[in-house]
């Protein structure tokens, strides 16, 4: 259903927008983080422009732990994503609903059920962004002292996804007969008990909900470490990458597609969608001023808290001169290895000071940021798409709803003028809209598959 010459677009939702200082912007509602109407408005903006999905990140813990920094950021609290998207399923018609959930601290039975439920609630619009837990304060919320190490997390993640898929396959698509006359509701020969016993998980099944309308909700993945790339190539249907440079983006794109082919997967079934932060103005100067204004909203404690979090608290940033250059390497940590690497490469390439780097992180968190006119933003998106560094983008407006109103009103028309974005939904389900095949039930799949 999707034309290959058109890009896919998602809206990455954060209550106030993606810039760390955005909540202080006059145009951002003060209490958006637990206001369903705020989210419904954002979803409506995205749906009005025929975007493919809205996307929610998630961490089951308060992220910031430096109280001085935490006092000044708005993202310590938010809705739980699956409940939020369930509510939004009743307020939207066509747009996909993508929620992040960790494989490290969830139970596969509960998670399989909730995503199946969301897929039924929305008529086939659910997506699951599969992650492993990377924040050290998640562990003690679930009875553990520390996070499992990086590789162990990926071993569990892989088994977890297979179990969840197996649970979604508990009932064949045509298992439910519902014949009032004969009194037969279900053909129990089409029920399959998983009986999984693996190295990390033991789950019997069957799931107590019919197979999701999409077969499986769309599987999103964002891994960028070696294990992450491997995982993405094997399971990811939408890959949410952080690729701030065109060369790296092209390399990453080629790597993933090639690895996916080695798993027998077609290029069209693996969509690479890096994040993009569009800072839009009527002129480049106006756009730059907007960015500077957002930067000015950040207190020094916010900057330091952010850097410590993203870079893994390895440098004692309170004693560092913020105007000195970032060193080329830092000790490796157990948290977000790949993101740290991207940022250090960026700093080295552009000769950034700590202050420059932290501001960049505050604005883009390692994603591609474009500061300019709608025309310039569209050009970079089209170029990135045409040069095969992206099949589409996960759009991360610096402020919300303002940044999305601008993107939808000014950039989307430019993309359409260039023939690179559709003007309406082509399918019913998210899979159809993304051009992704509906997976066959593993219990009815021909042996060859």
Alpha-carbon torsion angle 103, 109, 111, 117, nearest 10? 160
Instruction: Kindly tell me which residue out of 95, 121, 161, 346 binds a copy of itself, with binding defined by CB under 8 A.
Output: 121
Q: Rounded to 5 degrees, what are φ and ψ at 63?
A: -75, -50
Is 1 one of the binding residues for a copy of itself (CB under 8 A)?
no
Instruction: Identify residues 247-276 at the interface with a copy of itself (CB under 8 A).
Output: none
CB of 2 to a copy of itself, least distance (A): 26
Instruction: Kindly tell me which residue out of 208, 324, 332, 387 binds a copy of itself, with binding defined by CB under 8 A.
Output: 208
Is 310 one of the binding residues for a copy of itself (CB under 8 A)?
no
Angle at CA of residue 294, ends 292 and 298, nearest 5°: 105
Is 206 one of the binding residues for a copy of itself (CB under 8 A)?
yes
| Distance (Å, whole) CA 157 – CA 225 | 14
CB of 197 to a copy of itself, least distance (A): 9
Which is nearer to a copy of itself, 325 or 443 (by Cβ)?
Answer: 443
Indicate the SS3 state at residue 315.
coil
| Distance (Å, whole) CA 217 – CA 279 | 32
Place of tokens 């077969």: 215
Is 288 one of the binding residues for a copy of itself (CB under 8 A)?
no
Is 162 one of the binding residues for a copy of itself (CB under 8 A)?
no
Instruction: Kindly tell me which residue out of 9, 98, 161, 207 binds a copy of itself, with binding defined by CB under 8 A.
Output: 207
Instruction: Kindly tell me which residue out of 3, 31, 261, 350 binds a copy of itself, with binding defined by CB under 8 A.
Output: 31
Is 142 one of the binding residues for a copy of itself (CB under 8 A)?
yes
> Is the four-CA dihedral 318, 322, 327, 332 of positive or negative sign?
positive
State how far Cα 383 lies from the chain centre.
22
| Distance (Å, whole) CA 240 – CA 428 | 23
Is 187 one of the binding residues for a copy of itself (CB under 8 A)?
yes
Q: Which of 411, 327, 320, 311 is nearest to 365 (CA)?
A: 311
| Distance (Å, whole) CA 384 – CA 247 | 10
CB of 214 to a copy of itself, least distance (A): 13
CA distances from residue 297 to 253, 301, 365, 372, 401 in whole angstroms, order as listed: 35, 11, 17, 20, 18
Is 330 one of the binding residues for a copy of itself (CB under 8 A)?
no
Instruction: Identify residues 48-107 at the interface with a copy of itself (CB under 8 A).
Output: 59-63, 67, 70-74, 76-80, 82-84, 86-91, 105-107
Instruction: Kindly tell me which residue out of 4, 5, 143, 199 binds a copy of itself, with binding defined by CB under 8 A.
Output: 143
Is 110 one of the binding residues for a copy of itself (CB under 8 A)?
yes
| Distance (Å, whole) CA 441 – CA 169 | 5
Q: Which stretch binds a copy of itself (CB under 8 A): 196-204, 252-260, 356-364, 440-448?
A: 196-204
CB of 135 to a copy of itself, least distance (A): 11
Is 299 one of the binding residues for a copy of itself (CB under 8 A)?
yes
* E strands present in 183-237: 184-186, 196-197, 202-203, 218-221
Instruction: Identify residues 363-422 at the interface with a copy of itself (CB under 8 A).
Output: none
**What is the enclosing helix (H) or strand (E) of 375?**
helix 374-386
CB of 381 to a copy of itself, least distance (A): 31
| Distance (Å, whole) CA 11 – CA 42 | 9
Alpha-carbon torsion angle 409, 414, 415, 418, nearest 10? 160
Q: Which stretch binds a copy of itself (CB under 8 A): 178-186, 254-262, 269-277, 422-430?
A: 178-186
Q: Which stretch binds a copy of itself (CB under 8 A): 139-147, 328-336, 383-391, 392-400?
A: 139-147
Instruction: Kindly tell me which residue out of 1, 184, 254, 314 binds a copy of itself, with binding defined by CB under 8 A.
Output: 184
């Amino acid at each position: 259903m999707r034309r290959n010459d058109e890009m896919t677009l998602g809206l990455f939702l954060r209550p106030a927008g993606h810039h760390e200082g955005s909540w202080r912007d006059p145009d951002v509602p003060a209490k958006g983080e637990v206001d369903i109407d705020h989210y419904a408005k954002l979803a409506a903006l995205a749906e009005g422009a025929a975007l493919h999905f809205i996307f929610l990140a998630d961490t089951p813990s308060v992220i910031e732990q430096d109280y001085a920094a935490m006092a000044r950021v708005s993202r310590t609290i938010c809705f739980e994503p699956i409940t939020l998207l369930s509510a939004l399923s009743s307020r939207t018609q066509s747009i996909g609903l993508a929620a992040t959930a960790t494989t490290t601290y969830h139970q596969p039975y509960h998670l399989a059920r909730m995503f199946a439920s969301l897929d039924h609630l929305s008529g086939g619009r659910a997506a699951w962004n599969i992650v492993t837990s990377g924040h050290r304060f998640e562990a003690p919320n679930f009875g553990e002292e520390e996070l499992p190490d990086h590789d162990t997390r990926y071993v569990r993640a892989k088994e977890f996804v297979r179990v969840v898929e197996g649970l979604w396959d508990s009932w064949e698509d045509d298992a439910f007969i519902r014949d009032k006359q004969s009194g037969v509701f279900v053909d129990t020969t089409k029920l399959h008990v998983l009986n999984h016993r693996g190295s990390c998980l033991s789950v019997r099944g069957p799931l107590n909900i019919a197979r999701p309308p999409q077969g499986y909700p769309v599987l999103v993945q964002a891994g960028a470490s070696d294990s992450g790339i491997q995982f993405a190539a094997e399971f990811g249907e939408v890959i949410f990458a952080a690729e701030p440079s065109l060369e790296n983006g092209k390399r990453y794109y080629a790597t993933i597609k090639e690895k996916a082919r080695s798993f027998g997967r077609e290029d069209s079934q693996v969509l690479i969608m890096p994040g993009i932060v569009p800072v839009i103005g009527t002129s480049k100067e106006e756009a730059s001023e907007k960015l500077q204004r957002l930067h000015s909203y950040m207190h020094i404690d916010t900057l330091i808290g952010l850097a410590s979090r993203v870079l893994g608290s390895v440098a004692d940033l309170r004693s560092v001169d913020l105007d000195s250059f970032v060193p080329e390497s830092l000790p490796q940590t157990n948290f977000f290895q790949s993101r740290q690497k991207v940022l250090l490469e960026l700093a080295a390439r552009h000769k950034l000071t700590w202050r420059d780097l932290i501001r960049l992180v505050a604005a883009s968190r390692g994603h591609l940021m474009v500061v300019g006119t709608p025309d310039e933003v569209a050009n970079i998106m089209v170029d990135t798409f045409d040069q095969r560094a992206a099949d589409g983008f996960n759009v991360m407006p610096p402020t919300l709803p303002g940044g999305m109103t601008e993107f939808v009103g000014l950039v989307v028309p430019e993309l359409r003028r260039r023939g690179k974005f559709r003007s309406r939904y082509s399918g019913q389900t998210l899979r159809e809209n993304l051009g992704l095949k509906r997976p066959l039930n593993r219990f009815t799949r021909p042996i060859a598959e």
